[in-house]
Amino acid sequence: MTTTKVSLQVSPQVSPSPIPNSDVASLTSSLVNRDAYLTALLNTLETGHVVSLDWLKGIKESAANLVRHSTLPTNRDEEWRFTDLSALKQVQFNHVEMGKFALPNIEFLPETENSRLVFVNGIYEPKLSSVSGLPAGILVTNLSNLPAEYTEKIPEYFAQAEGALEVFTALNTAIAPDAAVIWVAKNVVVETPIHLLYVTVGETPVISQPRCLVVAETGSQVTFVEEFVSGKISVSLEEGVYFANAVTEIWIAENASVNHTRVQNDSKAAFHIGKTAVTQGRYSRYTCNTISIGGKLSRHNLEILQTGEQTETTLNGLSMIKDSQIADMHSAIALNHPYAIGKQLQKNIVGDKAHAIFNGKVFVPKPAQMTDAAQLNRNLLLSPKARVDTKPQLEITADNVKCAHGATVSQLEDDEIFYLQSRGINESDSRNLLIYAFAAEIINNIPVTSLRENLLTTVQQF
């Protein structure tokens, strides 16, 4: 690696070579509709509810053109070689019109009673949302209700992050029905956590496309939670099949701080593919706590792009899967400037015949002197048939850095279980206690108390 700037184009499956947005519309007609499944999906969803704004039309048209010129990734693509999407292609998904679904019964976090937005199948639901508890200086709303003074500023950020050409990201850009918007003004410190709840409901296989844009201006601070769940409005829905395709863009200006928690708890038959693209200005701080529990197949692409010096990035992740679940965590951190600190700890608890995947990249080019980066993936296998594929990866050309990476794969140790038994704890409780301790290291970083306690309870019942 000899370049001095690293680009986060980490998903080459979009096309043989990345296509600039400005050139998408001019692609030759012979390449249109290359993938029948993608084309059918796009055509179906374009008939649904999509927010209509003048400045957004060109962005959506370019993204739709890109999707029509793309193909779904396969195991032949390096970035997807452990994640097979063939089961996804066997399902025909539909859209759900506004007002055509019953509102689910949901238990909200008490800390965010008046600081939450709720989206049902990607569509903003005002009856379940409330932001009356937020201070002045922060805007929390949906794209359709965006105040006029923001319409000139939003296009500078919406769908402009690195990685926008990835096929699932482009699909979301093209047909997402709405989007959550969090905008924190300069030097505003928001102590109240914000809850973005994305619910998927439906009696037939549906596709939900949550979208979120966060802009933290210079010197601001904000904490927010994204939670992806299934709405239980029928006996069979909890185990229903649906597809959640989520995209979150986070822009952090100079000396700003963002604490982000992402909880994926979809139904056990759902497909979930998520993208989080973070752009960090100099002296900024970003913390991400990612929890993945649900989904038949789930994947999270977490991409960090440093645009100024002396940034701090902390990534904590936990996947808890069993039965035949697949959980894929892909991350890419581009530290292009000096004096950066980047820490990543990804833990996986894998039971039964489940399969966990971790692929983490950290790029440290020559200008990024005095970088301090550490990456660790720890895996706990609870069954002889459980599987993990892990690949922590450092690419360094800077010569004055402190960088480390590693991975461990282990089972519950017999001597640890024996020690607990010798203290009067039975074997089953001993195993549960060790699993709890393994997961708690990640969950205890979540700043919202009620959510943290709910997740620790989930671990006890795992």
Based on the domain organization, do 332 and 234 belong to the same domain?
yes
Based on the domain organization, do 361 and 431 belong to the same domain?
no
pLDDT at 104 over 80: no
Based on the domain organization, do 156 and 192 belong to the same domain?
yes
Q: Which residues of 94-130 are buried (b: 16+ CB within 10 A; e: fewer)?
A: bbbeeeebeebeeeebebbeebbbbbbbbbbbeebbb
The whole-number pLDDT of residue 232 equals 60
The Cα–Cα gap between 6 and 16 comes to 19
The Cα–Cα gap between 270 and 206 comes to 10
Tokens of 106: 């949901």
pLDDT at 373 over 60: yes
The Cα–Cα gap between 197 and 128 comes to 10
Q: How confident is the model at residue 101 (pLDDT cuts 50, 70, 90)?
A: low
Q: How confident is the model at residue 102 (pLDDT cuts 50, 70, 90)?
A: low
The Cα–Cα gap between 145 and 261 comes to 25
β pairing state of 116-120 and 123-124: antiparallel
To the nearest 10 degrees (0 to 180), the angle between helices 427-443 and 414-422 is 110
The Cα–Cα gap between 429 and 78 comes to 41
Highest mean pLDDT among 76-80, 174-178, 254-258, 424-428: 254-258
Domain count of the fold of the chain: 2
Q: How confident is the model at residue 4 (pLDDT cuts 50, 70, 90)?
A: very low
Position 2 in a domain: no
The whole-number pLDDT of residue 155 equals 93
Based on the domain organization, do 89 and 209 belong to the same domain?
yes
Instruction: Identify which of 351, 320, 294 has the alpha carbon closest to the alpha carbon of residue 439.
Output: 320
DSSP 85: -
Based on the domain organization, do 238 and 190 belong to the same domain?
yes
Position 87 in a domain: yes
Based on the domain organization, do 376 and 330 belong to the same domain?
yes
Based on the domain organization, do 457 and 346 belong to the same domain?
no
Question: What is the arithmetic mean of pLDDT over 281-295?
Answer: 97
Based on the domain organization, do 309 and 426 belong to the same domain?
no
The whole-number pLDDT of residue 372 equals 97
Q: Is 91 exposed, middle or buried (0-12, 13-18, 19+ CB in 10 A)?
A: middle
pLDDT at 231 over 60: yes
CA distances from 147 to 134, 183, 338, 347 (A): 17, 12, 38, 41
Tokens of 159: 């769908």
Q: What percent of the chain has pLDDT over 70?
A: 88
Based on the domain organization, do 323 and 267 belong to the same domain?
yes
Based on the domain organization, do 399 and 417 belong to the same domain?
no
Question: What is the arithmetic mean of pLDDT over 260-271?
Answer: 95
Based on the domain organization, do 386 and 455 belong to the same domain?
no
The Cα–Cα gap between 287 and 45 comes to 34
Q: How confident is the model at residue 398 (pLDDT cuts 50, 70, 90)?
A: very high
Tokens of 214: 């966060």
Position 4 in a domain: no
β pairing state of 180-184 and 326-334: unpaired
State which of 391, 409, 427 marks the end of a domain.
409
Instruction: Identify which of 150, 210, 154, 148 has the alpha carbon closest to the alpha carbon of residue 177.
Output: 210
Average pLDDT of the chain to the nearest whole number: 89
Q: What percent of the chain has pLDDT over 90?
A: 77
Question: What is the arithmetic mean of pLDDT over 258-282?
Answer: 97
Position 3 in a domain: no
Concatenating the DSSP letter of every residue in 366-384 gives TT-TT-EEEEEEEEEE-ST
Position 195 in a domain: yes
Least confident of 35-49, 90-104, 414-428: 90-104
The residue that leads in pLDDT, 46 or 262, is 262
Q: How confident is the model at residue 454 (pLDDT cuts 50, 70, 90)?
A: very high
Q: Given its phi and psi angles, is residue 153 left (phi above 0), alpha (psi -120 to 50 degrees) or beta?
A: alpha
Least confident of 9-18, 189-198, 399-408: 9-18
Residues in the chain: 462
The Cα–Cα gap between 336 and 321 comes to 35
CB 294 within 8 A of CB 177: no
The residue that leads in pLDDT, 3 or 407, is 407
Tokens of 206: 């549906």
The Cα–Cα gap between 163 and 169 comes to 8
Instruction: Identify which of 229, 202, 227, 223 has the alpha carbon closest to the alpha carbon of residue 100.
Output: 202
Q: Roughly how many angstroms between the first and final C-alpha of the chain, as a whole number?
A: 43
- The type of residue at 56 is L
Question: What is the arithmetic mean of pLDDT over 343-372?
Answer: 97
The residue written with tokens 């971790």 in the block is 358
Position 1 in a domain: no
The whole-number pLDDT of residue 1 equals 35
Q: How confident is the model at residue 18 (pLDDT cuts 50, 70, 90)?
A: very low
Neighbours of 283 (CB within 10 A): 19
User: Whole-prediction pTM value?
Assistant: 0.91
Q: What is the pLDDT of residues 66-85, one digit of tens each?
A: 999 999 999 999 999 999 99
Q: Which SS3 state, helix, strand or coil, does residue 143 take?
A: helix
CB 385 within 8 A of CB 355: no
State which of 394, 409, 424 marks the end of a domain.
409
Range(s) of the domain holding residue 165: 12-409
pLDDT at 12 over 80: no
Q: What is the pLDDT of residues 105-164, one digit of tens each?
A: 678 999 999 999 999 999 999 999 999 999 999 999 999 899 999 988 999 999 999 888
Based on the domain organization, do 106 and 237 belong to the same domain?
yes
pLDDT at 240 over 80: no
Least confident of 100-114, 324-338, 365-379: 100-114
Q: How confident is the model at residue 11 (pLDDT cuts 50, 70, 90)?
A: very low
Count of H-run helices and E-run strands, the chain: 7, 20
Residue 242 makes CB contacts below 8 A (sequence gap 6+) with 93, 200, 202, 205, 206, 207, 208, 230, 266, 267, 270, 271
